[in-house]
Structures are given as structure tokens and as C-alpha cells.
Structure 1
Amino acid sequence: MNRATSVVYGAVSVLNAIPTGVGGAIGVNLKVKCELEIVDEPGVRIESIARGERIDVSERLVNALLEVLRERYGLVGGLRARVESEVPPARGLKSSSAFINALVVGALKAMRRAYSLEDVALASVEIARRAGLTITGALDDTLASLEQGVFITDNARMRILRHYPAKSEPVVIFVPREKLDVSEIQPSSFESLRSLYLKAAKNALNGSWREAMTLNGFLTALAIAIDPTPILRALKLPFTIAAGVTGKGPAFFAVTREPESIADLWSEMEGEIIITSLRGGGFES
């Protein structure tokens, strides 16, 4: 039977790659599960559900997925898939990278094709680019969705610069009601802060990725013009390890030894609070 199941994960940002080309991310324990079947009939049909909400899948993404799987892996026929995600969409939690990863891994398993982390990452990045879902290539996000640890990447050259181990520390995520689509992002707002993002990149490359995560959060809040007060309030608590804005926003997060205290602190804001942890596992079969 040409059927398979895959599980990948959401992630949070260490470093936004828009201003410098260097990006960083680490996975969080929010699952994206895909059940996929290869069928004789051409075309792709995908049912996508994120946190109980049905999500439309763009025709551009469907076409990009089919093209890349045919070009790289010789896919014959079509796909039928159901993707269920715990990752809130369009909030900066790498939902697009995880969605594509889940489909690619599911397809390769259904085709009985051997694959590596690099195989999946490069295929997923190419699909995201063709579908218009990424500004930078998002190699860091793609890798963090697939594998444990912190990834720092050169997204222009498609290279892994650093891969650090990480503890499965608790993380609190605040998900505001408003979404922020990639089409709404103004790269110039990030590029105007390039000199400061370079300092965050230096921290990340030197191993101080938690410090990079926090500086990146303040800079991204400035770039997308949102109030950074939730980050400041979280950092004033002695058990907060790092805090920031993830992706291109607008979600906030804090890595902390006492997640309930952060959740209480942010409970007055309008939105959803998720308590999870940084990721300590890789692929699931």
C-alpha cells in the first residue's frame, strides 16, 4: 500500500534571516501530523486542519508540491493527504514550513524512498519558494521543524552554520487573535535594523543563542511595529531564560523555568496561551 504517516513540529525563532541572510530556529512540541496516500489519479487533494480550524490550501502550493516531488523523486500519479496541526497558522510559529515538511516526509515514506534530513529540507524550501511562502528560504525553520536542537543557517547559500544541542525547557507562547501573512511583510523594515540584527547573528554563531533570541525579539517587534512590553515584562521575572517574537510575528514566546507564572503574566492579553517545550526529539515514524 502506498500510504504513510509523518509527524513534524512547529518552531520558534532564534534569529530572523530577512536583514542578514543568517537565520536561526528551534523546534517546539507542537505536532503536525500527515496521513498521505499516493494514488493513480493525477492531481493533489489535501485536507488541512489547524487547531480544529479548516485551512484552505492554495493552488500555488499544491502545484509546487507536485512539481518538486515529480522532478526530484519521480512521483507518478497524485496525492491524497490529511494534515492535522497543533501549530497556529500565520503567527510566526513556522506553520508553513511544518506543513510542507509533513507532506514531503509523508510522500517519501509512501514512495518507499530513502531520505536524509538534507533531502527533505531542500525539497521543502524549494516548494515554499515556488509557492511564494518564504522571503528568505527559511532553511532554519525547515530544519528546526524536522530535527532536535538549534539550527543557525546561511539561507542564501543553503548551508547549516551551527547545530547546537538544547534542553527541553518549557516555553510559553502567546498567540494573538490577529494573523500576519507573509504578503504583509515589508522586508525594508527589517533591513533598516541590519546592524543590530548582525549583533544578534554574532551571538548566535558564538553559541549565545538565547541572547540572540531575545535581541532578535525586540528588533522584530520594532520591525513589525508591535508593542514589546510583553517581552520586557517576561524578562523581569528571575526564572525567564529568553523571550521574544517568533518569525515575522505577531506571536510572543518565553523560555522559562516557571511557565505558569508567565502564563499568568500574559493572561490579561487577548489571545491564546500555549504551554509546551523546546523540542528534544527528531523524526517520528
Structure 2
Amino acid sequence: MHGEAAALGAGTVLNALATGVGSAFAIDAETTASVDLDDSGTVDGDVDGAPDADTRLIRRCVERVVERFGDGQGGYVRTESEVPMAAGLKSSSAAANATVLATLSALSVPVGDDDDAVDHETACRIGVAAARDAGVTVTGAFDDASASMLGGVTVTDNAEDGLLSREAVDWDALVWTPPARAFSADADVERCERVAPMARLVADLALDGRYAEAMTVNGLAFSAALGFPTDPAVEAMPHAAGVSLSGTGPSVVAVGERVDLERVRNNWERREGDTWMTTTRTDGARVIA
């Protein structure tokens, strides 16, 4: 009873902490999960390269899938990731999505649009529920999870786990990740709620398809609310179509044309941390085996 799957990291258009409405877009950085089920009744796990990592989320994802589709199985889950942890690039959502799909595969439950299959939105909501169980998210992060699972850019109502819109986008993306890390569950929700008027403006822009403008407004508002510098975004604005603090930080993501983003890269590479170029993805998460 073995399954493997991969899901995508993502960048932020709108942080959902202020109003419960959020928006994110998938990027070409993958997390893979390998699940082996047995009759032990208990689930263990590990994260490749991070022996001290908290595995509550991925273990709870396996448990949630087994509770719904299995027969009391336990087993082992292991994740490997190109998405840096606690960097605002939706590593938890990617790990949850990949683990849910891998567990479904291990149980021989089909995933897709056929009548007898579990659709990707349903699989995504299982991971979101597990994230709430594990306490790794404040909002439930359906915005992040839906972008990771479905690909493209999504706008969601996280209070209802409702998908408000989804659209394909074709951007190059430049990511700067400083050495510091920030965990979503530790974010100052009260300060974020103070920028709710700006968040509502960002939601209107996103629902109107003006994603790049939306993410720039979001980035300025939430950088201020969460105590991150706006200098990287200001450096990018003359060249990028949009730029934002991603999630609750600390990463900053700029989108646009590669030739323009290379000019931003020249500035960002002077900063401490990692700067890397990628692209958006529209295909979403997938079962590997």
C-alpha cells in the first residue's frame, strides 16, 4: 500500500489574515510525499533534511484520509521539498496536499474528475482540515492550499473554504528569501486585521483579474502590519508587474517578464539570503505512483 504525489509551492496575492478572503498563485517549486500504509494503526513520519521538523501536519493528513477512505491503517509518511520551510511560500500547504494525494493513491482511491474519483478540491479540503487540526494555520489557508493543489491563481473565502475564482496566469517569478524564518501560526492577527480596508481593496482588484496590482498593494499593507521592510518591494516596483510579501513572510515575490525581473534580481542579490527565479504553474498537484 504505497503512494507518491507532488504539490506546488505558491506566492501571495492577498493575505487572508485581515478579512478571511485570500488569494495565491502556484509556482514551479515542488514538495513530494511518499506514503506507505500498514496495519499498525499509528502514523509516523519525517521531513527529508530536517530531522527536528514538526510532522504533526503530514501525519494528520494521513489519518484524515484513512478515517474517510480507509480501514484504520497506520503507516509512514516522508516528504521532500524544494519549497523552503517557514518562508511564506506555502510549504505546509504543499506538504499537506502531496500527503493527501499520496495517501489516496496508497489506498487505491482514484483522484480526478470521474464520478468514482475524489476531485482535487475535495482532496485539498482534507489537507486544510488537517492543518487546522495540527494548529499550523490561523486562517485554514484554503487560499494557499487551493493554489498549490489546483495551479494558477485562486481567490478564496477561507472562512467557508469556498473557491471564489481560479484563473491561469503565465508569469516569471523572482523570489527573495532572507535567512530568518516566520511561522504562520505566530503571526500577529490583530495587527493584520487593522489593514482590513486595504485587504478589501486587494480582494476587489483580484476578483477583477488585476492580480499583479493587487499583490503590490497587499505587500505594502502586510509588510507594515507584520513588521517587514518594504525596501525590496520598492526596488522591484519600477520593473515588476507586481511584488508582495508572500504569506506572513519573510519571502518577497515579484512577477512579470524575465528580462525585467533580472534587473530586480541584481538588486536583491546584494541582500543576505537566497534569490531565485522560477515561473508560475497551472497544472497543480499530481499523483506520481
TM-score norm. by structure 1 comes to 0.93
Report the Cα offset of residue 121 of structure 1.
Answer: 1.1
- Could you tell me which residue of structure 1 aligns to residue 237 of structure 2? 235
Contact in 2 for aligned 1:9/1:32 (Cα 8 Å): yes
Alignment of 1:52-71 (within 5 A): 53-58=49-54, 60-61=56-57, 64-71=60-67
Report the Cα offset of residue 64 of structure 1.
Answer: 2.9
Match of 1:117 among 115, 120, 130: 120
Secondary structure of the equivalent of 1:113?
Answer: coil
One-letter amino acid matched to 2:70? G
Alignment of 1:45-124 (within 5 A): 45-49=44-48, 53-58=49-54, 60-61=56-57, 64-114=60-110, 115-124=118-127
The Cα offsets for residues 206-235 of structure 1, whole Å up to 9 and x where unpaired, read as: 111111111111111011111101101111
**Compared with structure 1, are the counterparts of its residues 75 and 266 closer, same or farther at alpha carbon in structure 2 (3 Å cutoff)?**
farther
The Cα offsets for residues 132-161 of structure 1, whole Å up to 9 and x where unpaired, read as: 011111111111111221100011111111
- Could you tell me which residue of structure 2 aligns to residue 163 of structure 1? 166
Q: Which moved more, 1:256-265 or 1:100-109?
A: 256-265
Contact in 1 for aligned 2:58/2:77 (Cα 8 Å): no
**Compared with structure 1, are the counterparts of its residues 54 and 63 closer, same or farther at alpha carbon in structure 2 (3 Å cutoff)?**
closer
Report the Cα offset of residue 244 of structure 1.
Answer: 0.8
Match of 1:277 among 268, 276, 279: 279
Report the Cα offset of residue 15 of structure 1.
Answer: 0.6
Q: Which moved more, 1:173-182 or 1:60-69?
A: 60-69
* Aligned Cα root-mean-square deviation (Å): 1.5
The Cα offsets for residues 40-80 of structure 1, whole Å up to 9 and x where unpaired, read as: 2222222212xxx3153436435633542233223432121
For the residues of structure 2 that align with 1:277 and 1:42, how far apart are their CA atoms? 40
For the residues of structure 2 that align with 1:194 and 1:243, how far apart are their CA atoms? 19
| Structure 2 spans left out of the alignment, 5+ residues | 111-117
Q: Which moved more, 1:74-83 or 1:23-32?
A: 74-83
- Could you tell me which residue of structure 1 aligns to residue 262 of structure 2? 260
1:211 aligns with 2:213: yes
One-letter amino acid matched to 1:106? A
Q: Which moved more, 1:218-227 or 1:70-79?
A: 70-79
Match of 1:127 among 130, 144, 150: 130
How many pairs does the alignment contain? 278
Match of 1:144 among 144, 147, 151: 147
Identity %: 32
The Cα offsets for residues 171-224 of structure 1, whole Å up to 9 and x where unpaired, read as: 110011000112421101110111111111111111111111111111110111
One-letter amino acid matched to 2:189? P
One-letter amino acid matched to 1:248? T
Secondary structure of the equivalent of 1:162?
Answer: strand
Contact in 1 for aligned 2:46/2:55 (Cα 8 Å): no
Match of 2:177 among 175, 178, 185: 175
TM-score norm. by structure 2 comes to 0.91
Contact in 2 for aligned 1:176/1:272 (Cα 8 Å): yes
